[in-house]
A and B are shown apart, each in its own frame.
Chain A
């Protein structure tokens, strides 16, 4: 009988990561889209780093940073009693960093594609930046936000390198599906590996299918987007 724990853990990780990233990504994307700061290129580059870095590089640095032997890890351990190496929380933090561009880029693009006059019109109607953001900007980039959510969710599910470096393969704690497949192959259990791989494959396909279907419907009802 195949162990369902890794599947459950994977979904849990993807869900937490997506939720946290939505909260961080939206304001970050808003700032990157509209800020006139001269050095904006720096945060932009940092956000995009996970796209080009091998996951093992990111994983390696995170492992060093989280390690209780080092300053940051020690600080977390002493003041928050938080250990991020080989724990589920550590996986979440690592995934958030690793999937950052997948949430930020679509939303940032969505903001940028909106006509600047929408925001200006709202200001001239006496509305604050916050009210404009929630009542005018966000409702008009639903599609971009949905894309960000789905990409982040799917990307987190497909993670391997960072998870392996930061989390290892502790059952019920850090052993997600992608790691489980690797373990099963190492143990020559091709059948189990096949089942896990098949589940991931089907899941990814269904998710993408949903996104495209919804996007088509969106663009039909609202040609402006």
Chain B
């Protein structure tokens, strides 16, 4: 589980869905949830929020250019990795937190990932869960 802490800055609602923008330091992250400010205590602008996403949902890109539908792009650098035959686990430094990504070994080899490489971690908006700060 990757966990980041941030602050809610924007909530757009339609029906019972809300698109929430959270700032983690100077990086915006968006999440879509089946919840509205009306029904949930935590969904308030300026409220602290915890962002949770699974390691297996973190997409990695190197030297990326072009347009992509993924909204959440985090600038990171590689601090360590473990290689398996099928999967690889890469630990990244993002601001002052660590995030982990699990990708296939094939992808790892194609990206030719090395220590200290700059890398972009991307997470789909619907893969990000929110929890109220405890």
| Chains A and B touch (C-beta atoms under 8 A apart) | no
> Which B residues lie at the A interface, using CB under 8 A?
none
Question: Which residues of A are in contact with B by a Cβ distance under 8 Å?
Answer: none
